[in-house]
Chains A and B, each alone.
Chain A
Amino acid sequence: MNKIDFSGTKSFTSTRNACALCAPLGATLAFRGIENCIPLVHGSQGCSTYIRRYIISHFREPVDIASSNFSEESAVFGGSENLKTALDNVIRQYHPSMVGVASTCLSETIGDDVPMALREYSASGRGDGVPVVQVSTPSYRGTHAEGFRGAVRSAVESIAKGGTSDGSINFFPPIISPEDLRHLKDILKDFGINGTVLPDYSESMDGGAWENYYKLPAGGTPVKAILNMGRASASIDIGLCVTAPLSAGRFLSEKFGHVFYSTGLPLGIEACDAFFRILSELSGNPVPEKYLKERGRLADAYIDAHKYLAGKRAVVYGEPDLATGIAQFIEETGVKTVLCATGSRGMSAGFSSSLPQIDGVKCALADDADFTTMLELCRDLKPDMVIGSSKGFYLSKNLGIPLIRAGFPVHDRFGGQRLMHFGYQGTQQFFDRIVNAVMEYNQNSNSIGYSYI
């Protein structure tokens, strides 16, 4: 192991072209994966407007996020009245099955006590008994990755109840695409697993054209299913970087005494094998033939494309679980990760420890993972490709190398919500994208213009 950790050696104070979004964004995305739930961002309306705008640019779907609309007065004297009015209004207009309240830097800076405001709210009989889940998401303490996990954790903490085991299994994925989520659910079905996936924005953030009008887009994990999560026989955190306080799976298993698994994002053959092994164990069913075939095709593709990829060097960035997942996956294919970066702070411990097998990979964490610092590092690292969200475009443009888009946000290509990063099938698609990017680059940088490449 020869991993170079850059944290603490940061040469710049300012963050130049950040590699992370803010915490309430992650929380609202998670809340949109609960059926008929409306997120409410507690702070000035700017935050919620920016967040809506940003999520929409990736998913190209309606995104309803309310705000408690702080004024200068509420910023000074506290926003609990605003929060209560906001709850009244969203509940009246949307009849949601749940409201997910995420705080902002503003409400946290003034020390607004949201739990107390919510207690007062329900004690005064307002809110029609609609459950309100709150998560503390100041961005000066965490990024969208932590906000996402935090919201899921809060939801199970405040909603899940115990009871006789129903044999179901809980799954807590990191931020993955709606297509990934659909695939995960298919896999569970094929194993005969009665699974609850939280959050599940596979439909709500990538739905069809509507025949009828919906107040809130359909789809998502039903609140009732969250309620039943305490009765499951196991909980699985997908993604190894989740810290204990952010882990919904750990919380449930400790509170309700069921089995807990933590497994990496199933991206790449080994990570998928590990995931499928768990599913097989838990369901008592062998891995369905279909997936063995997918695995076979994937291995075959690795072999076929080895001539294009072997020895190539990649820069990888994203949320901790995704970035480490990608690094593990491409390592299998012969691509070396020379720099693996995440803007996340809260989950950086897991981030570093998830990369032990890769020799010589540089990790850039938190502050060091802004795109300008990454660019400076790349001058020596000489990568051949960049893998991550659209925000790496300038990095790739500056370096003159291809960007293979993955994760969130992807707003300069179409279909970000259908990019896959999950399972053998998702790995296959991802792999094809990488190989094709390299082939395209080779073809374009070749003066003769071969059409066999």
Chain B
Amino acid sequence: MIKAELKSFSNISAEKVKDSILNRYPAKVARKRGKQIIINRVENGDQVPEILANSRTIPGILTMRGCAYAGCKGVVLGPTRDILQITHGPIGCGFYSWLTRRNQTRPETLSDANYMTYALSTDLQEDEIIFGGEKKLKKAIEEAIALFNPKAIGIFSTCPVGLIGDDVHAVAREMEEKYPEVNIFGFSCEGYKGVSQSAGHHVANNKVFTDVVGQLEMRKEGKYIVNILGEYNIGGDAFEIERIMELCGFTLHSTFSGNSVYEEFASAHNADLNVVMCHRSINYMAEMMEKKYGIPWFKVNFVGAEATAKSLRKMAVYFGDAELIERVESVIAAEMENVLKVQGEIRPRCEGKKAMLFVGGSRAHHYQELFTEIGMETLSAGYEFAHRDDYEGRKVIPGIVVDADTRNIEELTVTPDEKRYNPRKKNDEMQKLESAGFTFNDYNGMMTEMKDNSLIIDDLNHYETEILIEKYKPDIFCAGIKEKYVVQKGGIPMKQLHSYDYSGPYAGFIGAVNFYREIDRMVNTKIFSLVKAPWQESPELTGSYVWNK
């Protein structure tokens, strides 16, 4: 195991760690990384230093990031079970995104459509790369219709598609004319677009907004109708949230996109509130739905018991119904009983331990809540594909420089729908809420909630991971599977926060309890002490067995 250079956090200087990362880079790389590695300092409540984010990874640096295709097909659309997805491209891209994110879904009956276990690909061959793949794509769509008769088909473009000039949108239109009962749409999510998965989120949001949302007039029964945006049901998180929603009396109209079906998306414009979980991947949708249909949105967080309670309260206050507010309180009270009991049992064993989180575009922030609840501290955190607003808060959006990589992602101009625009709250109601401290369209970012001197790192790479664990020697490190084994070789327990190491749920109240227990097991394990054989620890043991004496 690696020896920590400095034993405890309190005497580790973030500056020193930053220096030791940067001084091994050539000047140009160091300059850029210097802007992406920031020592946190919060002033006046929400002023934090600027960080460079959503910027292209330097070639040859082993990034955690994936591509736009992964963000579009894998992240946003992947969790939907009945939009049939066809990858247009060579075989690898489709194969690698085949159920890898492990989203869960629960069709109502066995005969309900669920295409998640399928990976359809046009599997382009050399001929098509040379002469074009549109014909093959059309054929694939026709086959898919014959085979599954789906309500909707999404076509996902991979890198070569953009280069050989295939027009997936034209193919979609043509096929939709031929099969008007199927909604067919294409995504220009070629992997080279943008700088990470994030570009793909945006592409996905745009297309789902223009081609799916608003297609169906259906409103679920209930008084308090909400959509949850940016919850992808990893490890069953969405199931837990659904459970809580029902207990509280909210009607969950649709979830974008965990455990979701096409018709819920298509009619989502009929809900009265959008709450946003993962700000990064879905804020576009929230904004556009507000502009077009008048549905307000605000940020929630169902990761962490306290955060869950806070989010539920906010939702109840939004609707403003005393009965609802009371019901939400009683649900929270009932659920917190067990949460607090487990917290009490686990906290003494975890108190003071240190965590690091490098994941996603929201999880590195959300999961700090859970660690805090069991007395653990976050030394350093960062996102894989976030933008400045996810770090510093939405207030910085107007000042974000739009570079070439961002410019190639379409920004839709949205205007109010002539017939269906319906502001859910009148101006004076909104004002009343706001003057009572209620915030809409809000996200304050991760840095504003982190301690001074914690190290914030955007787009952490393999090499920096090594330095971080060497210098800080945290008690637990959270990231994805690509980082898992290198961290564990370094003697540090590693928790996957993309796939949850195939467990979960970690959202909501039940999820919080699951997480506390999991972390307790990990940070208090004896396994790492077995790595060295006793005679390696103290060489004098060799040959000193009883019979040798």
Contacts and interface: CB of A to CB of B under 8 A. Distances in A.
Interface of A: 12-18, 20-25, 40, 43-47, 49-54, 56-57, 60-76, 82-83, 85-90, 92-93, 104-106, 108-110, 138-141, 143, 207, 209-213, 215, 217, 343, 367, 372, 394
Contact of A83 (B59, B193, B195): B59
Contacts of A372: 118
Which of A14, A89, A106, A140 counts the most B-chain CB atoms under 10 A from its CB?
A14
B93 A70 contact: no
Given A14-B140, A21-B95, A140 B67 contact: no
Contacts of B117: 17, 394
A89 B120 contact: no
Interface stretch (B159-167, B218-226, B314-322, B331-339): B159-167
22 contacts: A15-B91, A15-B121, A20-B91, A22-B95, A23-B92, A46-B191, A49-B65, A50-B96, A57-B481, A65-B62, A66-B62, A69-B57, A71-B192, A72-B408, A75-B192, A87-B60, A89-B26, A89-B61, A92-B26, A105-B90, A138-B129, A211-B536
B63 A45 contact: yes
Interface stretch (B244-252, B482-490, B517-525): B482-490
A215 B122 CA distance: 39
A61 B484 CA distance: 8
Contact of B95 (A18, A92, A140, A207): A18
Contacts of A394: 117
Contact of B466 (A21, A25, A213): A213
B74 to A, nearest CB: 9
B126 A140 contact: yes
Contact of A16 (B120, B195, B532): B120
Nearest to A210: B489
Interface residues of B, number: 80
Which of B123, B193, B486 counts the most A-chain CB atoms under 10 A from its CB?
B123
B211 to A, nearest CB: 21
A68 B163 contact: no
Which of A23, A24, A44 counts the most B-chain CB atoms under 10 A from its CB?
A44
Nearest to B122: A14
B111 interface: no
Nearest to B26: A92
A12 B143 contact: yes
B408 A50 contact: no
A70 B466 CA distance: 25
B91 A18 contact: yes
A71 B67 contact: no
Nearest to A343: B91
A38 to B, nearest CB: 9
A268 B76 CA distance: 47
Given A47-B92, A93-B463, A109-B163, A71 B121 contact: no
A427 to B, nearest CB: 29
A73 B162 CA distance: 12
A15 B123 contact: yes
Contact of B163 (A51, A69, A92, A110): A110
A86 B482 contact: no
